[in-house]
Amino acid sequence: MDDLVLAAIRRRIAAKIPDLDRSAPARLQPADPHDVADDERQLGFPLPPLLKRIYSELANGGFGPGYGLIGLTNGIPDDTGKTGPAIYRMFRDGDPEDPRWTWPEGLLPICHWGCAILSCIDCADPNFRMRIFDPNEHRDEDWADAFFEESPSFEEWIGAWASGVDLWTLMYGEEGHITRLLAARKPIS
């Protein structure tokens, strides 16, 4: 199955590198497999096999949904200049101004959508489910309300994108599942 997904991703990359307007990197470069293994050791958890193949065989970030996959170390960073592991470590370090801030262990940011919204892969989950972090609607003291389920697995998520699905519309479009969840919340009084 991974080979089919990789072939679909190759076709999608040939058509359009990142989904959102951003100057595409001059050249997509695969990650060195040793760097990927080193990132896994430093993070303290394994990455999904398909994600490792994508980074090692296709490119270390810079293509994909939203503003593109965020690269691992030595890869294409997000718009703030940070790689996925750097963002993860920064979030896990906490926020001295908000002692309630916590970032779930194993939740690796891999895609930036703008407005601080991130698609993250839950590497603590055996299916590597995808979750959205959207701090814009945060109201609870513990930040739990800023996380949303996005896809049951990374493979389904990237496979849907590779087959042409508009992931943003699935989440935040008029009938998007996160749009519906947010609409069901009680207004702030």
Residue 189 domain-assigned? Answer: no
Q: What is the pLDDT of residues 52-106, one digit of tens each?
A: 999 999 999 988 899 889 999 999 999 889 999 999 999 999 888 888 888 999 9
So what's the pLDDT on residue 13? Answer: 78
Residue 170 domain-assigned? Answer: yes
Structural domain of 48:
2-184
Residue 46 CB neighbour total at 10 angstroms: 14
Residue 86 domain-assigned? Answer: yes
Residue 38 domain-assigned? Answer: yes
Residue 61 domain-assigned? Answer: yes
Residue 59 domain-assigned? Answer: yes
Residue 118 domain-assigned? Answer: yes
Q: Look at residue 26 and tell me whether its pLDDT is greater than 70.
A: no
Q: What is the pTM of this model?
A: 0.91
CATH of the domain at 123: 3.40.1580.10
If one counts the domains in the chain, the total is 1
Residue 25 domain-assigned? Answer: yes
Q: What is the pLDDT of residues 148-185, one digit of tens each?
A: 999 999 999 999 999 999 999 999 999 999 999 988 88
